[in-house]
Structure 1
């Protein structure tokens, strides 16, 4: 599957110029723009900064014909098609999606790297959507990554400062408007990792969570979201207000009681990654680093093992959960980790639905297709997981 891309261009002042002829890119995922930037250069000889999604010919990613707003330093020589585009400001538009936004962020990162004694030799835009904007910056001392976050995810650098250990991303600098600069993590994202690799990730993550148990108050005071117990129940119901939750009504009504039974299982609250799937683990030659802590919160440790085993067969998931449970029983004698997992399985899907609803509420309507269909899908998973 691929994408067909149309770029609607703005000049350096933000004035609309028209649309480039469409071209195809191999990656279907709308937020990935490295191939879009490369395609504009290859097909039209243009260096562009992609600002944001305008629209698409299908209701949700991936693939299809997608239009983006992009900015160029100089008007192109290629003929452009006149096009009407709404350039009105929107209160929920992130800083990097405004004209000049990418240039300002890259200038900040370049200055920070210079301060660290590293000269930038190349910049490549990688991703832009409502959850983040990401650039790779090659320097005289290796690569670094610029990541810019929306307001609801700006506790990620706080988490990284606290982690500050092997196996965590190295934070180089933090700036205004959600900007942060990260050291490169060699290797590849571990999508599709086999069971043995997931077991190693779970074992290493357990050590992080055990350490974090004693730092809960510190993490909360620093701004990491509090999703413990009844606070989580209120947060889920609040985020899902306005959605059709009739199929999950009984589950939502019994949420406080269910979370009370989870508390009785005896496991402590800790730092939760919030999206611990193998694609958020990067590494090579046996070294693994858990990346993308933007969804982190303080809550129950079972949420991470449930996410890590979502796309594993039933037998493999049982083994992974079993290893996780043995570690916690050793650390917390008398606890019942397996029961906690069983009770939280539908809650994990409810939390995901609420997270997607939070995304939709925080972004402008043109980007709703990224997430709006995820809310009912996660609600359906919650209902299915709650069945006896």
Structure 2
């Protein structure tokens, strides 16, 4: 499919398929007065370098958000571009700064390009969507699937690209859909969405199509991402999610069968150890030393394993005042339900989080008599950031060096948080 496609007007914050990492989702870190300057290095369809556009500023500070990069390239220089990947950054981590990206064009721009020296050699960890021809190949699949569904495409807009996903909005007379392409470790999202559609309709985005390469096509979810959710809305999110988790208890075997990671009990400890092995520090050793005993005591609390979203912050909930849907199930796994309530309350102080945790515990005590949800939460407080550190370590192990700044700071930050929680919640002797 050619890249030159008419682009429809951009609706406000259309993020039905957008996945938000906690530090980079655009809602949990203050970015006042932070700007981003972009240098866009262009290649043709065969990957032959053409040169770079003059640097320009875009309002979105988050590195993976490329909608404004594409829009400004069209507005300033009359060029339609597909952003492929990050090449370089002038600071160690997002947001803001001066970033250099690689972009593909079908027709060289009329504006003179600056000669640049960049390393465009292949890399074994490069995502399919980050290579010349990759976006067009994925868009051809998505438009074909929508045509098969009787939904012709009249406009395409690239919204995001980084090591964790590529996001495109596809518009037409029958509404918008979202193409999301992810790496192998997130491919189980399609299976989770199929399960949600059957077991808990309306609680997640509608899956229109999926293939076995990590591409999924999602129907648009009206509303906006709920980063600003207050206590009442967080309580409603927690109650909705409890019903989903309770329903999933009996289906964990089926969920594991369709590829959802199995992080139950000892499986979680092994998964964390394997991924943190390259980060062998004294802090890691101390945290891992008591992990098995801690997880044994969590199991003694009596709560069942279930489907865990894995990143249930309010920005991964989308609503329009009438309905809510939880998006971005790529981090999901089968494991302990407390991980999600800890994530939902993570940015609140203890006093503000206490009523949400009390209500969560009361629901589980009512559904699982004899269980001790409060004790499980306390035991898992150090494990939750330790699991996140292992996840970020997994990302780093699977991406090329130019994209390391996306996650390099996350592993030590999460390990520090885990160590602090372990000090507050030590295992009794």
TM-score range normalised by the length of the shorter chain: over 0.9
Q: What stretches of structure 2 of length at least 5 have no aligned partner?
A: 1-33, 425-429
Which structure ranks higher in relative contact order (CA pairs < 8 Å, sequence separation ≥ 6)? 2
CA distance in 2, matches of 1:87, 1:213: 47
Q: CA deviation at 1:192?
A: 2.5
Cα deviation, 1:304-324, whole Å, max 9, x if unaligned, reads 000000111221211111110
Residue of structure 1 aligned with 2:381, choices 320, 333, 345: 345
In the other structure, the counterpart of 1:262 is 298
CA distance in 2, matches of 1:250, 1:78: 57
Residue of structure 1 aligned with 2:50, choices 13, 17, 26: 17
SS at match of 1:369: helix
TM-score for both structures, normalised by structure 2: 0.89
CA distance in 1, matches of 2:135, 2:383: 38
Residue of structure 2 aligned with 1:232, choices 264, 268, 271: 268
Do structure 1's residue 103 and structure 2's residue 136 form an aligned pair? yes
Cα deviation, 1:70-95, whole Å, max 9, x if unaligned, reads 01110111011100111111111010
Residue of structure 1 aligned with 2:405, choices 369, 373, 376: 369
TM-score for both structures, normalised by structure 1: 0.99
SS at match of 2:381: helix
In the other structure, the counterpart of 1:150 is 183
In the other structure, the counterpart of 1:44 is 77
Aligned residue runs from structure 1 range 59-78, under 5 A: 59-78=92-111
Q: CA RMSD in A?
A: 0.8
Q: CA deviation at 1:292?
A: 0.1
CA distance in 1, matches of 2:247, 2:212: 29
In the other structure, the counterpart of 2:147 is 114
Q: CA deviation at 1:175?
A: 2.1
Q: Is the 1:240–1:354 contact (alpha carbons within 8 Å) kept by the matching residues of 2? A: yes
SS at match of 2:190: helix
In the other structure, the counterpart of 2:355 is 319
Q: Is the 2:276–2:284 contact (alpha carbons within 8 Å) kept by the matching residues of 1? A: no
SS at match of 1:387: helix
In the other structure, the counterpart of 1:8 is 41
In the other structure, the counterpart of 2:233 is 197
In the other structure, the counterpart of 1:378 is 414
Q: What stretches of structure 1 of length at least 5 have no aligned partner?
A: none
Q: Is the 2:269–2:292 contact (alpha carbons within 8 Å) kept by the matching residues of 1? A: yes
Aligned residue runs from structure 1 range 125-204, under 5 A: 125-164=158-197, 165-204=201-240
CA distance in 2, matches of 1:268, 1:312: 26
CA distance in 2, matches of 1:221, 1:101: 29
Residue of structure 2 aligned with 1:307, choices 340, 343, 354: 343
SS at match of 1:242: helix
CA distance in 2, matches of 1:220, 1:167: 20
Residue of structure 1 aligned with 2:61, choices 11, 28, 32: 28
Q: CA deviation at 1:14?
A: 1.7
In the other structure, the counterpart of 2:257 is 221
Aligned residue runs from structure 1 range 275-314, under 5 A: 275-314=311-350
CA distance in 2, matches of 1:376, 1:143: 39
CA distance in 1, matches of 2:67, 2:348: 30
In the other structure, the counterpart of 2:19 is none
Q: CA deviation at 1:262?
A: 0.2
CA distance in 1, matches of 2:89, 2:359: 44
Q: CA deviation at 1:97?
A: 0.3
Deviates more, 1:301-310 or 1:249-258: 249-258
Q: Is the 2:303–2:371 contact (alpha carbons within 8 Å) kept by the matching residues of 1? A: yes
Cα deviation, 1:155-206, whole Å, max 9, x if unaligned, reads 0001001110112110000124211100000111111311110000000000
CA distance in 2, matches of 1:230, 1:167: 30
Q: Is the 2:204–2:325 contact (alpha carbons within 8 Å) kept by the matching residues of 1? A: yes
Cα deviation, 1:272-302, whole Å, max 9, x if unaligned, reads 0000000100111231100000000000000
Q: Is the 1:7–1:20 contact (alpha carbons within 8 Å) kept by the matching residues of 2? A: yes
Q: Is the 2:312–2:344 contact (alpha carbons within 8 Å) kept by the matching residues of 1? A: yes
